[in-house]
Structure 1
Amino acid sequence: MPHMSRSALLARAERSSRAAGTWPPISPSRSLQPHSRSRTSSRFNRGRPGGRSGQRGRRTGFGSWIARNRRLAVALLLCVAAGIAVQELTPASEQQVSVLVAARDLPTGTHLTAADFTTVEVPPNLASSGALDSVGALVGRQLASPLGKGQIPSETSLLGPGLLIGAPVGSAAVPLRMADPSSIQLLSPGQLVSVVLTAAGSYDESRQSQVLAGPVPVLWTSAQGGKPGEWLGTGDTDGLVVVAADPQQAEKLAGASTQGKLFFVLVSP
């Protein structure tokens, strides 16, 4: 190949470049500037947390963590699902109401004081109708039946008209004086008895006995330890029994003690 001068070589290169559409040629200094700017921008973007490369890095890091801890991720998801299910299946808590209950075991005949009761919170369905919610309605009254610790008092637990709650219409509370006061120890409220009258006869006549009423439930007895006259209005309560009787039975029982001696017979329910 013949030796060509530098100017000839440049002219030949110019013609080739024009023919290829790449003229004017890019100088080395210009070709380096965009490359340097691009490299600097890339370094800057990599350092910024909001750049696309940072977001891709975070996504890639989370995905790799899931891949490494797949079992842990599944367990966490199952725990969340179980918590949601329990929350959906658990019924809403009911509104609580305040009621009075016995603070200790109270035997029959107890004269009630404020210290005998305390207040607790219970669901509304446990607050029975007729329950007493005021200490003032209880203080000074007497129990007709035992009241266990935690039980709710009501009118049916106390001496007075409340003893006839639930009895048939027209029922009356009839006091009777038994001929044998010591036999009262065998009775308790709620027990069924038949009342027997033994009429007094002459010396040559045998005594006649007849059943005046029965079976009738016992409401109260003098053996319950009540103070004399608190409910019946008399100071002489020895041997007294109060029973619930219908109008016909009450008519026979009223004043029966003046016709003879009264006894009772225990009746099985």
Structure 2
Amino acid sequence: MLYRSSLLILLLAGLVLPSAALAQQPAAPPVFGYLTPPNSSILTFNGKQALRFQNIPTQMTPFLQQDMLKLARQLNTIAQQKSFQAHQLQPVVKKNHYEIHYGNQVLLRLNPAWKQYFKQSELSTLVALTNQLRTELGAERLQQFANLKEAPAHQTGYASWYGGFFHGRLTANGERYNVHRLTAAHKHLPFGTRVLVTNLDTQKSVVVKINDRGPFKPQRVIDLSPAAFKEIGYLGQGVLRVKLTVLS
């Protein structure tokens, strides 16, 4: 009886939380860290090793370690702001820069040293690194060609762009169209598909997400948002000759 009375007093005083109140407390956000042993670069996730790159040539080590530091800091910033979801990690190519994004936020622009370490093309390196990060953090790998640079094109034709009047309107998949995002319309690819769009005249590339249907004019294979179109050309061109490669 004395114990029950004491517990009741503590509860009333706010010194002891009932189990229901404890259950309502939000879970602590994940914590990312980094380690820099000699000739190695390590990313940690809640104190456990998530990514480890070792036997790095001495001349590359500072660059890869610096990138791992940037990645850990950016991931921590995002984890503090919102619920972390590993499936939002995506490879993005912008103005010939190879980047890992979380949603629309840039996590890391890869140093060229990564290409030398992986001994692959820039694009294959980007996808390989993104996939390692995704799988270690609980998401599925992105489907890809064995060699993205040399893979046969999924489709070739002309790309156009659409904006202005459509900004803020619903797209075919129910999202609000935003002219500032890297999205596109395609006649039949599933919504959410990531597509590498390459300008055949300049070889500039951009990765877009399919969220709408179109274009509906002959020879046009994709309708880009203005933001995406400007990554590989300028709006005044109207249309561009492009190659489409499905990434996921």
Q: Give the TM-score band, short-chain normalised.
A: under 0.3
**More helix by percentage:** 1
Q: What TM-score do you get using the length of structure 2 for normalisation?
A: 0.24
Larger radius of gyration: 1
**More strand by percentage:** 2
Q: What TM-score do you get using the length of structure 1 for normalisation?
A: 0.23
